[in-house]
Structure 1
Amino acid sequence: MLSLNALSPMLADSRTIDLSESGWIYEQRLSGCRLLAQTRTPTRSGKVQLQTRDGSDATGWFPEVVESLAQLKEGPCILDGVACVLDDRGRCDREGLSERAKRRGWYRGARPVFYFVFDLLMVQGADLTNEPLSQRKQRLARLLGTPLLNVIPVHHYERSEAVALLQQGKAQADFAGLMAKRGASIYKPGIRSADWVALNAQGPHERIPT
């Protein structure tokens, strides 16, 4: 069975890709803190653990996320996502998240953190890392089918939607870009893979078909 302490997140490459190529799905890039999360079975104590990209234990930093994930009944699970603080317009607020992370816990007047989940690496103890991303996405959608407070599944787009978002985003200073991921890709912990590509809306990192 996978162990959170032995895992590092899969990382994205930065290169030019052809958006007319089939087999890719796209997600909006989020400005936040990359987190892996492990839940336990409901009968065990210490059900949830959060871990940053560098392996730091962040379980006590964001108790509202821990409390929400503890409600999952299909444990043990391992999820991959990004912790964000949102502003009044629903945009990622880097300064707000930095303040929460710096304080290492809840405090009076703290702004809530939301955990945006985009991948599922283990469910009910079964290792999913060798399954295609498209199948992991389907399992994640089922797992988070019942809404949880402070836990949000990340929506993914097909090519036509991604092209429109990138074209519109070039005129928006707060649009960070997209993540392109091969639907057939397996999860490679700690690897910077060409199967995941960061597309910057403000730079020439993709060929957009006309």
Structure 2
Amino acid sequence: MTKRPRKPPSKPLLNETDLPLQSRPIRKRDPKQPQLPFDPMPERVEPCLALLKPKAPHGPEWLFEIKWDGYRLAVHIEPNRVRILTRNGHDWTHRFPAIVDAAKALGPTTMILDGEAVVLDEHGLPNFGMLQNSLGGRGGKLPSRNSLLYAFDLLYFDGHDLRGMEYEGRRSMLESLLVGADGSIRLSENFDEDPEEMLRHACQSGLEGIIAKHRDRPYRSGRTGDWLKIKCVLSDSFTVVGYEPSTKVPGAVASLLLAAYKGVDHVYVGGVGTGFSQDEARRLKKQLDKLKTRLPPVTIRGKNLVLTAPAFIAEIEYRGWTHDGKLRHPSFKGIRDEADAGDVYRLPD
């Protein structure tokens, strides 16, 4: 039986090499189609802040890590540049060259690291005074070449804004990025163990305390309660409103006069006379003498007191409060730079 002849194609194949190439007109994109998942890197992220609590929370929903004693920083890494911003948004890139170099080595992808810059002492503990000295003190312009960053969160990575992701997911990505890192950018380890035992070890080691973070919460700016801080020793920022001159060391302060906020007003909370060296006491007097005022923000009774405008913010350790509203056993830690000034302590209304 013979086969029927094949029917010729209705249109000839365009296989001639001498025919001009033609493309179809580009159709407009259907707006109902999903966009590619790309998020522009934010210029700045308002940081998530830890809420102070007297006791650590319990439960499987919490993870814990060390509370570092330094400057809060956000490190923005892009293919062609690195930016380091303080918690108030000031650009301090030039002040942390070692962290910048370490950040460049993490590229060329884009990311934002949230962390704390510290300087470690001979025992491997963070020392706030050493960090300040490495930067040239308050208002200093020195680059800190021996500081390092303990990174504890990843806010943006490779074109994706991660702030809506739960903390545990962000943390997992951060760990994969910094596994084994021991240079100027290091991973701030977290622990899934009994918080009271961890706090006890932190206090015995001379650390400031611990931080508790909720596993399932997104990154939210401000003090939302998603992050909690539990301190070994109380430490807060207070406004310097004057000083008492030293009668033993010429040209030095004997103590600083401190104030906290109550509403919109300053309230005197006592003086601090320990924690600074003689050289620092002289330097403080020289700086505060430029701020003398006849209209002090608080009324303080006493002899030979010098009152100043509330331009300086001091970080103070203390053991609690006296019955008349004064700091108990305060100790001076340092003057915070305006670019990284913490929130001045607020008394309850």
TM-score bracket, normalised by the shorter chain, equals 0.7 to 0.9
Instruction: Report the alpha carbon displacement of residue 73 of structure 1 after superposing the two structures with TM.
Output: 2.7
Instruction: Report the alpha carbon displacement of residue 112 of structure 1 after superposing the two structures with TM.
Output: 0.4
Find the counterpart in structure 2 of residue 14 from structure 1.
52
Find the counterpart in structure 2 of residue 96 from structure 1.
130
Paired residues of 1:62 and 1:105 also in contact (CA < 8 A): no
* Alpha-carbon separation, structure 1, partners of 2:92 and 2:223: 23
Q: Percent identity?
A: 25
Which one-letter code corresponds to 2:225 in the other structure? A
The change in CA–CA distance for 1:17 and 1:91 in structure 2 (over 3 A counts) is closer
Which one-letter code corresponds to 1:104 in the other structure? K
* Alpha-carbon separation, structure 2, partners of 1:73 and 1:65: 13
Which one-letter code corresponds to 1:48 in the other structure? V
Find the counterpart in structure 1 of residue 68 from structure 2.
30
Which one-letter code corresponds to 2:43 in the other structure? N
Unaligned ranges ≥5, structure 1: 204-210
Which structure is richer in relative contact order (CA contacts within 8 A, separation 6 or more)? 1
Which one-letter code corresponds to 1:163 in the other structure? E
1:193 aligns with 2:224: yes
* Alpha-carbon separation, structure 2, partners of 1:35 and 1:62: 10
What whole-Å deviation, never above 9, does each CA across 1:91-146 have from its counterpart, x for those lacking one? 1111111122334343xxx6501110000001112100000110001100111125
Q: Number of residues paired by the alignment? A: 193
* Alpha-carbon separation, structure 2, partners of 1:192 and 1:100: 30
Find the counterpart in structure 1 of residue 97 from structure 2.
63
1:178 aligns with 2:216: no
Larger deviation, residues 193-202 vs 143-152? 143-152
The change in CA–CA distance for 1:81 and 1:169 in structure 2 (over 3 A counts) is closer
* Alpha-carbon separation, structure 2, partners of 1:171 and 1:164: 11
Instruction: Report the alpha carbon displacement of residue 63 of structure 1 after superposing the two structures with TM.
Output: 0.4
Unaligned ranges ≥5, structure 2: 1-38, 235-349
Instruction: Report the alpha carbon displacement of residue 148 of structure 1 after superposing the two structures with TM.
Output: 5.7
Paired residues of 1:5 and 1:55 also in contact (CA < 8 A): no
1:113 aligns with 2:144: no
Out of 56, 78, 90, the residue aligned to residue 112 of structure 2 is: 78
**Correspondences of 1:137-152 after superposition (within 5 Å):** 137-145=171-179, 147=181, 149-152=183-186
* Alpha-carbon separation, structure 1, partners of 2:87 and 2:191: 25
TM-score (norm 1): 0.84
Question: Match of 2:85, SS?
Answer: strand
Larger deviation, residues 48-57 vs 16-25? 16-25
* Alpha-carbon separation, structure 2, partners of 1:55 and 1:20: 34
Instruction: Report the alpha carbon displacement of residue 74 of structure 1 after superposing the two structures with TM.
Output: 5.3
**Correspondences of 1:196-207 after superposition (within 5 Å):** 196-202=227-233
Paired residues of 1:29 and 1:179 also in contact (CA < 8 A): yes
* Alpha-carbon separation, structure 1, partners of 2:217 and 2:63: 11
Larger deviation, residues 138-147 vs 76-85? 138-147
Question: Match of 1:5, SS?
Answer: coil
The change in CA–CA distance for 1:18 and 1:154 in structure 2 (over 3 A counts) is closer
Find the counterpart in structure 2 of residue 207 from structure 1.
none
What whole-Å deviation, never above 9, does each CA across 1:47-75 have from its counterpart, x for those lacking one? 21000011110100010100110011352
What whole-Å deviation, never above 9, does each CA across 1:4-45 have from its counterpart, x for those lacking one? 53311111111355633220000100000000010012xxx3
Which one-letter code corresponds to 2:78 in the other structure? R
Instruction: Report the alpha carbon displacement of residue 179 of structure 1 after superposing the two structures with TM.
Output: 0.3
* Alpha-carbon separation, structure 1, partners of 2:45 and 2:198: 32
* Alpha-carbon separation, structure 1, partners of 2:95 and 2:84: 9
Which one-letter code corresponds to 1:175 in the other structure? L
* Alpha-carbon separation, structure 2, partners of 1:21 and 1:2: 36
Give the root-mean-square deviation of aligned CA atoms: 2.0
Question: Match of 1:48, SS?
Answer: strand
